[in-house]
Amino acid sequence: MKTITSVQEIRTVIAQARRQGKRIGLVPTMGNLHQGHMSLIQKACEYADFVVASIFVNPLQFGINEDLDSYPRTLEQDQEKLRAAGCSLLFHPNVEEMYPTGMQEQTLVHVPSVSAGLCGAKRPGHFDGVATVVSKLFNIVQPDIAVFGEKDFQQLAVIRKLVADMNLPIQVFGAPIVRAEDGLALSSRNQYLTTEQRASAPALHNALVQLVDSILHGETDFTKLIETTNKALSNVGFKPDYLEIRDELTLEPATTNTKQGVVLAAAYLGSTRLIDNLTYHLN
């Protein structure tokens, strides 16, 4: 598996693969790869025969007080994992390659509606940064398919809308959340947790399971459900950031008539912000 750092070279290599009739898949990542990322590569391998992974810690999607500088960078281990998973090519550009005129001068892509609220409200500019870098990666690689994790549920909705609104000929696949045995959703940020925080962390998933269970058993008072769940999270040391029940497809606030819903949460353990979500379907 070759690692390429320049836009020009990756275009040449992908053009060759395309001439050989290969179907191109893209899995954009920020590196520090874990089993969750590997499941994205596996899914891409199911639908494409030339799978490109990108590793780029995108400064444009980090807020000023966020963890850009400390975000774990583990290139060699990542290359090893990608090779073992059957990835064909790694694109690993630096910031100058992606933003040659500087970030202030970069044209931004804004995806309305689905970018607002939830993480969009808590991390201003975050989804513009994501939509911009993903648009650039789509234009550089021109994949037939692309795979993103359902753990970043709102991000996946943003990308699906971006692709639809801009008529991009790319099929977007979501891959299910991969969890540790105790239920914690895998995330590069889990490694920031202390031993004690790691022990409390599965409570976030458990809280969502209980909340969804209540809805499936007929509870219709969403305000009460959210209050109770936030209290339960606070009791085990979380500082809830948001907890919302939304329509799975539109991300509009759910009502008792919503048949396909999703509960989305972000909560801090110390200074580490964890996110998780759980969908539910009513008959």
- Residues forming contacts to ligand PAF in the complex (CB under 6 A) are 28-30, 58, 61, 130, 133-134, 152, 155
The least CB distance from residue 54 to ligand PAF, in Å, is: 7
Evaluate the CA torsion angle 149, 31, 71, 101 in order and state its sign.
negative
Pairing assessment for the beta strands 89-91 and 272-281 based on DSSP bridges: unpaired
* Closer by beta carbon to ligand PAF, 103 or else 232: 103
Closest chain position to ligand PAF (CB): 28
Q: Give whichever of 60 and 211 is closer to ligand PAF, judged by the CB atom.
A: 60
Beta carbons within 10 angstroms of residue 220's beta carbon: 11
CB nearer ligand PAF, residue 25 or residue 28: 28
Nearest-angstrom CA–CA distance, 263 and 207:
10
Query: Minimum Å distance from CB 222 to ligand PAF?
Result: 28
Give the catalytic positions in this structure. 37
> To the nearest whole angstrom, how small is the minimum distance from the Cβ of residue 216 to ligand PAF?
29
Nearer to ligand PAF, 233 or 275 (CB): 275
The structure tokens listed for 184 are 């914690």
Residue 40 near residue 30 (C-beta atoms within 8 A): no
Q: How many CB atoms lie within 10 A of CB 120?
A: 21
Q: How far is the CB of 167 from ligand PAF (least distance, A)?
A: 20
For the record, the structure tokens of 131 come out as: 């939509």
Residue 128's φ and ψ, nearest 5 degrees, are: -65, -40
